[in-house]
């Protein structure tokens, strides 16, 4: 889903204020932690896999 569509969906549900657009990169756990002023363990990172043609998402702590 494109960012704009996700943003529209969240705004329609009254959750638009939860969207953060960062001026700094968040491409890595450390960069995201630096941009948000928190510890890497407080960042959730997501890994995605395709298993037997089914998408699987695994969400884990940034320092894992």
- Is the confidence at residue 1, as pLDDT, over 80? no
> Could you list the residue range(s) of the whole structural domain that residue 45 is in?
3-61
pLDDT in tens, 39-63: 999 999 999 999 999 999 999 999 9
Residue 26: which residues within 8 A CB-CB, separation 6 or more? 32, 35, 36
Encoded tokens for 3: 């960012």
Domain count, the chain: 1
Q: Are 13 and 6 a contacting pair, CB within 8 Å?
A: no
CA distance 26 to 37: 12
Residue identified by tokens 């890994």 is 47
CA angle, 35 as apex, 14 and 38 as ends, to 5°? 85
Model pTM? 0.69
| CATH number of the domain to which 41 belongs | 3.90.960.10
């Amino acid at each position: 889903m494109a960012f704009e569509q996700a943003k529209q969906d969240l705004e329609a549900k009254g959750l638009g204020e939860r969207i953060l657009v960062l001026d700094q990169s968040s491409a890595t756990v450390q960069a995201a932690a630096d941009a948000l002023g928190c510890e890497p363990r407080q960042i959730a990172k997501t890994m995605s896999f395709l298993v037997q043609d089914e998408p699987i998402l695994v969400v884990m702590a940034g320092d894992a």
